[in-house]
Structure 1
Amino acid sequence: MNSETSPAPEAVDEFLMRFTSSPRGARLARRLISHRLDSWGLPYSSPANESLTLIAAELTANAVRHGHVPGRDFHLRLTRTADTLRIEVSDTRTERVPLLTHHEPPGEAESGRGLLVVARLADRWAVSPCTNAPGKTVWTELCISRH
């Protein structure tokens, strides 16, 4: 895990969409990711679909909760190559960059574990600044053969 910019792999399949920066937008993004993976031959109950759907839920919820700028949406990009799934969630909040090293929050804490889940499920993940607009992109990659 590092903050280096990693180029997206050559896409075999790609899904791009902009969502309202709201809980409803995050929920719709998660559902569409799961549906898209199923249509690409990764069934809803497959480990890859379940893992990436959970990652999408965490990243989109974080984009809404921590990356929200009034009047701005978040963007989602899903790509699949022969061996890799990659999801990118971009928001316009430049100054709130997640830490790549996390410690377990206190046992009674009600939040703070989302990126720990992402780190455990993803084969790689990092944060990159957006190149053509203000904001940041949190991306993850899953090796299909491992999931």
Structure 2
Amino acid sequence: MTSTELPTQVRRFAMRFSSTPRGARLARRLCAERLDAWGIPYGSDTHDVLTLIAAELCANAVRHGHVSGRDFHVCLTADTSTATATTALRVEVTDTRGERLPALAANPALDPPGETRLGGRGLLLVEALADRWGYSRRAGGPGKTVWAECVLR
């Protein structure tokens, strides 16, 4: 490291889960535990927001990205820069169903959830809570990765 480079700290948690409601629940709980271990305490607004984002992305992987016999993958990354005193937290969820891409929540008028519909609000929540979100096709195989980022100051 040269004298002009400022240190950063990167923390990473990654794990595969069964593509079931039970797997999604376990992923949410382990992400919540990891955030607490990284200094984002249970019950704080930041912890609640990040846990909700992880829960929504995992639930979508199970509901819309499920392929029989295939798991989904979660990666939680915290990148802290001492230069800017910020931490970028990224939640990535990868499934193996590439033909079902997420509808962009930026235009809910195309298919509004409605008051009586039970689902369809997950990505609207992610869009409202995250600083940015998106998806990409999975490199090296079928599927996609849906991600969301939050920047903490």
Query: Matches of 1:11 and 1:139 in 2, distance apart?
Result: 20
Q: Does 1:55 align with 2:59?
A: no
**Structure 2 residue identity aligned to 1:57:** A
Q: Does 1:107 align with 2:111?
A: no
CA-CA distance at 1:109 after TM superposition: 0.9
Number of residues of Structure 1 aligned to a counterpart in Structure 2: 136
Query: Matches of 1:88 and 1:11 in 2, distance apart?
Result: 19
TM-score normalised by L of structure 2:
0.86
The equivalent residue for 2:64 is 66
In structure 2, do the counterparts of structure 1 residues 11 and 65 end up closer, same or farther at CA, with 3 Å as the change threshold?
farther
Query: Matches of 1:45 and 1:106 in 2, distance apart?
Result: 30
Query: Matches of 1:133 and 1:11 in 2, distance apart?
Result: 30
Query: What secondary structure sits across from 2:90 in the alignment?
Result: strand
Q: Does 1:96 align with 2:94?
A: no
CA-CA distance at 1:88 after TM superposition: 0.2
Q: Does 1:143 align with 2:151?
A: yes
Query: What secondary structure sits across from 2:51 in the alignment?
Result: helix
Query: What secondary structure sits across from 1:64 in the alignment?
Result: helix
The equivalent residue for 1:81 is 79
Bigger Rg, structure 1 or 2: 2
CA-CA distance at 1:11 after TM superposition: 6.4
Identity %: 58
TM-score normalised by L of structure 1:
0.89
| Runs ≥4 residues deviating over 2 A | none
**Structure 2 residue identity aligned to 1:126:** G
Deviates more, 1:22-31 or 1:104-113: 104-113
- Bigger fraction of residues in strand: 2
Q: Is the 8 A contact 1:123 1:140 kept in 2?
A: yes
Q: Is the 8 A contact 1:102 1:116 kept in 2?
A: no
**Structure 1 residue identity aligned to 2:29:** R
Query: Matches of 2:107 and 2:18 in 1, distance apart?
Result: 28
Higher relative contact order (CA 8 A, sep 6+): 1
